[in-house]
Amino acid sequence: MHIDKAHLEQFLRTKIELETLTDAQIARILHVGMSTVAHWRHKFHIKPADKFKRKFQEKYGPDALKHFARLVRQGATLQTIGCYFGFSREYARQVYNKLYQGSFRAQQRHQAQARRRTSPKTPRASTPAGDSGKARRHTSLPSHM
């Protein structure tokens, strides 16, 4: 039996990269063993599917990724995001890291800096001349008392 390698590679890439199917799911479709699919995947240098997004949507709803992204864009805290979905702040941090491959804290810092750059500067309160912000000394009482 002759297998068209180009067609097989295209099929595997579609099923793994776009549909995020596992080796087991592809093996069931093709009526072959999982090890056969794994062998083909390695031969074509295709990484296994990242199933996290699909499983997250299965558990929290089809719009869960959109809602998570919206909350992040709006500057919600990890605690707020966790409460929205019904999980802990720590799991919200792990989800963020998995989805965005970066630190939530670094992203928040970046957003804060961007807001500071775009917001109009407000004048700072001035101090009396010669006062460099140090505490004032009361001069109404003699210093020798």
DSSP state letters, 40-85: HHHHTT-PPP--HHHHHHHHH-TTHHHHHHHHHHTT--HHHHHHHH
Query: What pLDDT sits at residue 3?
Result: 79
Instruction: State the average pLDDT for the chain.
Output: 84
Q: Is the pLDDT higher at 104 or at 71?
A: 71
For 144, the 3-state DSSP assignment is coil
Q: Is the pLDDT higher at 124 or at 88?
A: 88
pLDDT at residue 5 greater than cutoff 70: yes
Q: Which of 28-32, 100-104, 116-120, 139-143 has the highest mean pLDDT?
A: 28-32
Answering whether pTM is above 0.85, one says: no
